[in-house]
Each structure stands twice: as structure tokens, then as C-alpha cells.
Structure 1
């Protein structure tokens, strides 16, 4: 089997069809079929069968899929590390959920880059459900946000580094401000969120999923825009406490004290376990637990000096 064949099969698995894999690779569908056929012949296993208009993987196909992404990721990592020997620099690919990327990642990575000026740090934005996959495929060296769900140990090493709380807030003239509302009453109003809504992987999503009803959610491109709409009275928001602290102090937002809030959560820095994480990934994982990192992440906008560094690359990798 060749690396090209494994890369092709890994895409078939991830995208769920030969046609989608061909489009991603920029080749014809027969070329993808030929690569998969070669693997079938060498391994003596059909790998998948047609089922209900899609494909269903055999036990052997699922076993190969578990290894194909890692093998392809290792090859890409080897290429990157060999290239780094020619430039005397290291690179670090981080992925973060949109809320962490918006409110904390920039300051954190600025502070980390001042510690390791020869390390070029890139940041990609992901949803929480894709964090474990990003590590296992080696699309990211470190992921930041909720603890990835792996269905077991998964070979990942997660370190908690920042406790946060989300509180329900509203504009001062919102109807909920003039009463002591039950959660049921609050759920009848519109809730405003950032781009991913309230993910069940995060503690606030799990808390809301345990309730008897789910509110109408209006999503905004950023949480900052959702906070602005909350100030304007367009709905209520389960906002990060340290982000709306100034609004609460100035009276432009008020807390709605429904039972169960504030919701406490933890952000984690997660890397590949079993000795597979790079030195730069381990260095960031250790740095995030330091007082300097915490101060940088919780500083108000403009409160922490920023040294020039390679700007992060913000790309929505997975939805």
C-alpha cells in the first residue's frame, strides 16, 4: 500500500463518498476507485459496501480507517519537521473553539510567542466535536477549548487551565429584568449566541440539554456581536462572565438570576498522549497553566501589551 492510497481512503472515510473524496483531491472518481481497489486487493478485504445510497465500512475497513489518518498525518508531520531543520524555526498548529478563539486565544498565543520567539504559531477555528479528530489526524498539535470527547482514553492528554462561568444577561429594559424568573420562563425568550450556538460538548451546552425545553437560538458571527444585540434588547445571552463584567458594572447589561446559573466550565489544552506530542505542543500545554498566561487571557481588551509576531491564521476547518 502507498501513502497516496491511504490518503485517498482516509478522505473517503472522512467525507463518506468516493465522489466527495475525488472533488477534495482534484482527481476523477475512477482514480479514487482505483486507489481503493488496490487496497482491497492487497488486504483481501472489501473495506466497504454500498448501502442505502451510501457506503458502509466492513470491520476491516474501519480498522484501516483508524490507522490511515494517523499514517497520513505522520507523513505530513515528518515533512514539516524536516523543513523546519532548514529554517531553524519550529511551527505549532493550534485549533480552538470559536468562543475561546475570540476571547482568549489571541492574548494567550501572543504571550506564548514572546516566550518562544522562534516558534511560528497558527490558529484555526473548529467546533468542539472536531477537536479530537484534529489531533488524531495531526491537523493540529494542540487544541484549546472543552475537553475533547474521545469515547474512551483515545490516547489524548488533556490539561485544564482556565475556569470560566457563563451567566445569563439581558438589557436593563428586558422583561426578565423586572421579575425573579424561573428557568422555564427564561427559556420562552430568544437566546442569543455566537456562531456555534451552545455546544453539548461544553458544560453550558450540557446544562441546557438537561432542561425540559430548548430555547429559540439566534446565532451571530461572533459572541461580541451577540453581546451587542443583547444590550439592544434583542434577547438574553448566556455570556462569559469576565467578558461582560464591564457591562454589568456600567448597567448596560443586567444579570438574570435563573436557577442553575452561573454555569461553571473549564477550558483544556489537549495534545496527543503516549509521547506523541511535539516539544512545542508540550511547551504551550505547560505555559497555559502559568499565572502569566491566565493574566493575559483575562485581561480586558488593550490591557496587555502585544509584541509583533506572525499573525494567527483563522480558518474554519470543520463545521
Structure 2
């Protein structure tokens, strides 16, 4: 059986539409259909069936995907063993990082790695933690940088390794001249009557903030949703909204914003996630080591 066809079926089991698989693999939807049809010819049994606009795997398809997972795992383990023996930091490496990490310390890490290891080619893509972990499982990413608010690293036990990078404190963003501007710290309860703008690049993060408000007895009134820090900053700076954002996202906030620590002090942990055992691969180990060195040690703005 052809490896690429197996990978195509594996992607289809996770993404459920030919178009989504085509985007993930960088081929056309018709090519995806062709790969699946050829794989069905190879094994002599139907692997997928149409369901509305999407497709579902047949029992045979589901069984084959389980074998494909094992096959690709063994191949990656073999690659790691050979790379470890060669002890060469070279080749391609893909990082999937949530936007706040991708826009803060990871570029500095990539720049230093280019100096230290000129034969290592790194490609970074911004993704939410859940999407990044899906890419890791599909061998479309080698390292995922994610926080423990948006994704629980413990759900990966046995299948992945996690490395702590840094703690990131949460802050309240206020427009200049806001009634709470003189406060040294701000509690969520003090924001009960405000309009909120939330970063929804990670749906889990925005849901965690909303749930924290509900836990103390109020539903935040949201007048801005955006997957762009700049839009949230603009809404707050214009006096339309307030927000709660992590310190890593506040590198370039404007002078029209006031930033105050959230009380009680609230933190998230940033982790690097890799497939189980791949920390032995020299290129993965080199990147993890540099991420630890580049991650900020102190994000306290109080």
C-alpha cells in the first residue's frame, strides 16, 4: 500500500471532507478522491462512503487508519533513531504555535537557531492549541506551543511529551482615563458592568474567561470578537470595550491603553508538545532547548 494514500485516508478520518484534506496536504480535491479510490483498489474493499456533503469511513477504513497510525509511528521512530545516531541538526522542522507565542518569543528562537544550525529549516504556522495538536498527530507539525488554558496537556499522556516553557500572567486592558485606571490591580467583579472585547483565536481561551465571570455571578456583555490582537486593542483604545489578555499578547500595546494585573494573580503555563520519544531527535532537541532559552522569564507588569 502506498504511504501517501494511507496518509490521505488518515487525514480524511480526521477532517471528514475532501476539501479539508486537500488544504492539509496541498493537493486538489480531485487528487484526494483519486488517492482514496486507488487505495480502495489496492485493498479490494470500500474504505469511505458519502454522508451528505462529507464522507465517513467504513469499518474497513477505520480499521486501516488504526494500522496507519501504527505504521507512521514506527516510521517516525526509525527516523528518530537514525537522526540520533547521525547527531546532525539539519532538515525540516515545523512549529505550530498559538498567536501570542508566535508573535513574541518564538521569532527570536528561530533567528538564533538559524545562526547556530544553518542547515535546519524551520517553518512556523499559527494555530490554536487544539488545531496544533491535531497537526502534531497527523505529522504535519513537529512541535506545538500551547497554553494550559486552551488545551489540557494531560490529555496527551502516553502519546506525547510536554516541556514547560514559561508562565504568562493575565492582565486587564482598559482605555486611558477609565474609572478603574488608578487601581493597582483589578478583580473580575469590578468589570461586571463593562462591555468586553475578546480574542477568539483560541475559542477555549475566550470560553475560559467567560466561564470565570459566570463563576462569580455575571455574564460578560461582549461587543467585540476577533482573532486579531490589534482589533481587540483598537476597541479598548477607542473606549468601546475592556478586555482580559495574556502578557505575551501585550508586547506592542498602544499608549491609549492602560494595563493592570488581574486579581487574584492569574497565570497560564506555556508548553512545547512533541510526539512521544521524539525529544531524542537532535533537531527537535535543539529547537526545544532554544525555545526554553528564548521564553520570557518574567512577564509581570505590575
Give me the TM-score of the superposition, normalised by structure 2: 0.71
CA contact (8 A) 2:198 2:243 kept: yes
Aligned pairs for 1:62-211 (under 5 A) are: 62-68=62-68, 71=71, 89-146=90-147, 149=152, 151-174=155-178, 177=181, 183=188, 186=191, 188-194=193-199, 196=201, 198-200=202-204, 205-211=207-213
The 1-side partners of 2:120 and 2:298 are apart by 20
Aligned counterpart in structure 2 of residue 241 of structure 1, from 247, 259, 281: 247
Q: Secondary structure at the match of 2:96?
A: strand
Q: CA RMSD for the aligned pairs?
A: 4.2
* Structure with the largest fraction of strand: 2
Aligned: 1:269 with 2:272: yes
Aligned counterpart in structure 2 of residue 283 of structure 1, from 286, 296, 302: 286
2:236 alignment counterpart: 230
CA contact (8 A) 1:102 1:222 kept: no
The 2-side partners of 1:232 and 1:242 are apart by 22
Distance 1:277 1:228, change over 3 A: farther
Q: Secondary structure at the match of 1:64?
A: helix
Q: Secondary structure at the match of 1:62?
A: helix
1:138 CA drift (Å): 1.9
Give me the TM-score of the superposition, normalised by structure 1: 0.68
CA contact (8 A) 1:229 1:235 kept: yes
Unpaired segments of 5 or more residues in structure 2? none
The 1-side partners of 2:256 and 2:272 are apart by 34
The 1-side partners of 2:70 and 2:233 are apart by 40
1:221 CA drift (Å): 5.5
Distance 1:185 1:11, change over 3 A: same
1:281 CA drift (Å): 1.0
The 2-side partners of 1:263 and 1:296 are apart by 16
Distance 1:254 1:124, change over 3 A: closer
The 1-side partners of 2:31 and 2:22 are apart by 6
Unpaired segments of 5 or more residues in structure 1? 299-319
Aligned pairs for 1:298-309 (under 5 A) are: none
Q: Secondary structure at the match of 1:121?
A: strand
